[in-house]
Chains A and B, each alone.
Chain A
Amino acid sequence: MKVRWETYLGAVGFLMLLGAHYVGLFVAPPEAMMGDVGRILYAHVPTAWIGLLTYLVSFIAAIGAMLTGKATWDAMVEASVEVGLLLNALLLIQGSLWGKETWGVYWTWDPRLTTCAIMVVAFGVVLALRKQIDEPARRLTISSVATIVAFVNVPIVYMSVKWWDGLHQNFSSPETVDSAMVTPLRAAAFAMLFLSTAFVVRRWRIALVQLTLEFDAPDLPDPSAPLAVED
C-alpha cells in the first residue's frame, strides 16, 4: 500500500507534539503568575495560531474556487473549514479548562472568548450550507461566498484583545516570554502545523475524489432505460 507524504508529516508532527509537551510539562519553568496552570499555553496557543491559519487557507481556497470553479479548490474549502472547526472547538475546550482554574469559571463573556465562539457558528454554517445544496457548481459558489464572509470574523478575533478590554491576555512576543518557554512553544506550534497539514491534505484527497465524481458525472438519466412518455 502506498504511504502518502502527509502520513509521514503527521507522524513527525505527532512525535514533535509529544516531545514539546514533555518539555513544556516537565522541563520548562512554571509561569510566574499562574504556576503550573500556565503550562496549558503550550497546547492552547499553538491551537489558536494554527486554527486561524487553517481558516486563512479556507479563505484563500474559497477565492480560488470562486475564480476558477475547480473541484480542487472546492475540496480544499471543505477540508480546511472542517479542520479549522476542529481546532476552534479544541481551542474553546482548552480555554474553558484554563479559565476554570484561573478565573474560577469555565466561561465568561470576554470579547476574545465570545468572538471565538461566534467563529465556530460562522464556519459551521459553511458546512451546513454544503450539505443543503446538491448541485456541485452552485454549492461551490455559495460555500465559497459564505467562507469569504465568515473570514471577516478572523481579524476581529485576532484584534479583539486590543479593541475591547477583557480578561484575556494581550498579545505576547518572544521578547515578553522567557527563552526557556519559547522553545517548547515554538516546537509545539510546528508540531501542530505538521499535524493539521496532514489532516487537511488527507481530508482534501477524500473530498476531491467525491467532488470529482460529482462534477464529472452528475445525475444523468440512465441511457439504457426506456424514455417515459407522458399522456
Chain B
Amino acid sequence: MKTTLDILYKDMLIEWRARSRTVALLSFAYTILLLFAFAIGPDSAALRQHAGAYLWLGLLLCSTLLLDRSMRVEFEAGAISKLLLVPVSAPGLFYGKAIANSVQLWLVGLISIPMVVVICDATLTEHWAWLVLTILLGGAGLAAPGTLYSAMIARLSGRQLLLPLMLFPLVVPVVVAAVKTTSLVMLGDPMNQAGSWLVLLGCFNLVYWSLCGVLFGRVVEA
C-alpha cells in the first residue's frame, strides 16, 4: 500500500512539474470535441443526441497519449530497473501508476463535461452525480488495461500504433457502458437503466484491475 502511494505521489509530482503536458492533453480533448462538432455540422439535435459518445471517444483518444507517456518515462534511462532494485513490488508499481493515470483521465473527463455542454448543447438531468461516477469508473476502466499494455510495448519501435490497436478492442465494453450511462444522464432515463450499466462498468473494472495487477509483475520482469 505504501509503495502504491509512493508511486502515485511520484507520478503526480512529475505531472505537476510538467503541467504544460496536462494543458496540452486538455487542449487535445477540446480539439477532438470541436472536430466532432465540425463533422456533424449545424445539426444541434444530432450533436445533443450523440454528446456522450463524443465525450468518451475524446477521452479514449486522450488516454493513448497519456498512457504511452506515463510508461515511457519509466523505461527512459533504465529507470524501471532502478525502481525494481529499490525494491519496489510490481503490484505496488502497477496500482500506483494505474491510479495516477486514472486521476489524470478523471481530470480530463470532468473538465470535458462543461466543454460537451457548451459545444454539443448537451443538458444534464438531476442525475448529474451519476455522470461523475461514470467518469470515475470509465476512466479507471481505461487506465488499468492501458497501464499494463503500455508497459508491455514500452520498448517496441511501433508502440504508438500498437497501443491503440491493443487497447481499443479490449476497452470496447467499458466505452459502450460509459457512453450508454452518459447518454442516459444527458437525455433522460425513463426506464431507470443507468444503474445496470454502471454495475456492468463496475464488473469490468473489477476484472481488469485484478487481472492486470496479477500480470504486471511478469511483464516488468520480462
Chain A residues within CB distance 8 Å of chain B: 66, 114-115, 118-119, 121-122, 125, 128-129, 132-133, 137-138, 141-142, 144-146, 148-150, 152-153, 156, 163
Contact = CB atoms under 8 A, between A and B. Distances in A.
Interface string B196-222: 000010000001100110010011011
A150 B167 CA distance: 10
Contacts, number: 64
Given A118-B172, A156-B173, A145 B165 contact: no
Given A132-B156, A133-B156, A148-B211, A138 B162 contact: no
Interface string B147-185: 011001100111000100110111011000000000000
A121 B145 contact: no
Nearest to A164: B176
A86 B14 CA distance: 45
Interface residues of B, number: 26
Nearest to A163: B200
A111 to B, nearest CB: 8
Contacts of B221: 141
B166 A125 contact: yes
Given A128-B162, A129-B162, A137-B222, A149 B211 contact: yes
Contacts of A129: 152-153, 156, 162, 166
B198 to A, nearest CB: 14
B160 to A, nearest CB: 13
A128 B166 CA distance: 10
18 contacts: A114-B172, A121-B168, A121-B169, A125-B166, A132-B156, A132-B158, A132-B162, A133-B156, A138-B222, A141-B221, A141-B222, A144-B218, A149-B148, A150-B170, A152-B170, A152-B208, A153-B169, A153-B170
